Every structure is written in structure tokens, then in C-alpha cells.
Amino acid sequence: MATTRSAGLVLGLGIGGFIDGILLHQLLGWHHMLSGWYPHDERVNMIGDGAFHALCLVLVIMGIALLSRTGPHAPRELAGWMIAGWGVFNLVEGVIDHEILGVHHVRSGPYQLAYDLSFLAFGAILVVVGYLMARVAPRRVTARG
């Protein structure tokens, strides 16, 4: 049987990716998935963003499938694990894509390291807040809620 923790973390990973893709890629236009490698190739960047969003969708579907197997759960616990999952997304994506591979940066330019470090710090805060929120949630939940 899946746990609320696993369902929430997977949902948070997918939703965190969607927030990143929608806010930073599309609305603010700060970067695209592959803009560090292909800064002037709009088609490649659009395909990269599309593949990224498809992966986020798969994660959300997996999280929903896991959630359907958890049985009753405390909404606060689920929300906490989802927030923690969003933070894990930021940390993993920030370290691997921004710092190790250089696929893109949060916002390229004179302050790109500050933006990248802020993204990582925000991810760490989300993990801590989500974890604490999930841990203080009621432990036993009946079928009625």
C-alpha cells in the first residue's frame, strides 16, 4: 500500500515542475529547459520545455495513482508532503540542471548565481516547511476524515 508521504512527494515533484515551467519558462520567460545549451534555438527550447512538462504530467499522474491507494489521510499531511516534494524538485533540478550540467540558469545574466542560490534556498525552505507541516498533522484519520 502506498503512503501519504510517497504520494505527496511524487505529486509535489510534478507540481513543483509545473510551477517552475509555467512561471519561469512561460510567464516570466527567464529561461527554457535547454536555453543554456541552445540559447538561440527556439524550436529546440520549445521541444525541451514540452518534454519537461510531459514528465511533470507523468509525475502528477503517478502521484494521483499512489494517492488512490493510500486510504484515508490527513489533508495537512498530504499538503505538507506535496510542499516538501516541490522543494525536492527545486533542489534536484537546481543542483543538476543549473550547477552541474549548465542546461539553464534561473535567470541568466550578471546575477545568475544569486538567482540559482535563491532557487536552492527556496527549495530547502519548502522541504523543511513541508516536512514540519506533514509531521504535525494528525496521525490517525478515519474513513470519515
Residue 12 has pLDDT above 70, yes or no: yes
Domains contained in the chain, number: 1
Is residue 143 in a domain?
Answer: no
Is residue 142 in a domain?
Answer: no
Q: State the average pLDDT for the chain.
A: 93
Is residue 145 in a domain?
Answer: no
Cβ count within 10 A of residue 139: 8
pLDDT confidence of 73, banded at 50, 70, 90? confident
Residue 78 has pLDDT above 80, yes or no: yes
Residue 33's domain comprises 4-135
Is residue 119 in a domain?
Answer: yes
Question: Whats the size of the chain, residue-wise?
Answer: 145
Higher pLDDT, 76 or 140: 76
Q: Residue 73 carries which DSSP code?
A: -
Is residue 54 in a domain?
Answer: yes
pLDDT confidence of 142, banded at 50, 70, 90? low
Is residue 99 in a domain?
Answer: yes
Residue 140 has pLDDT above 60, yes or no: no
Is residue 98 in a domain?
Answer: yes
For the chain, the C-alpha Rg in angstroms (whole number) is 17
Is residue 41 in a domain?
Answer: yes
Contact 82/12 with Cβ under 8 angstroms? yes
pLDDT in tens, 15-30: 999 999 999 999 999 9
Give dist(CA 138, CA 106) in Å, integer. 37
Residue 1 has pLDDT above 70, yes or no: no
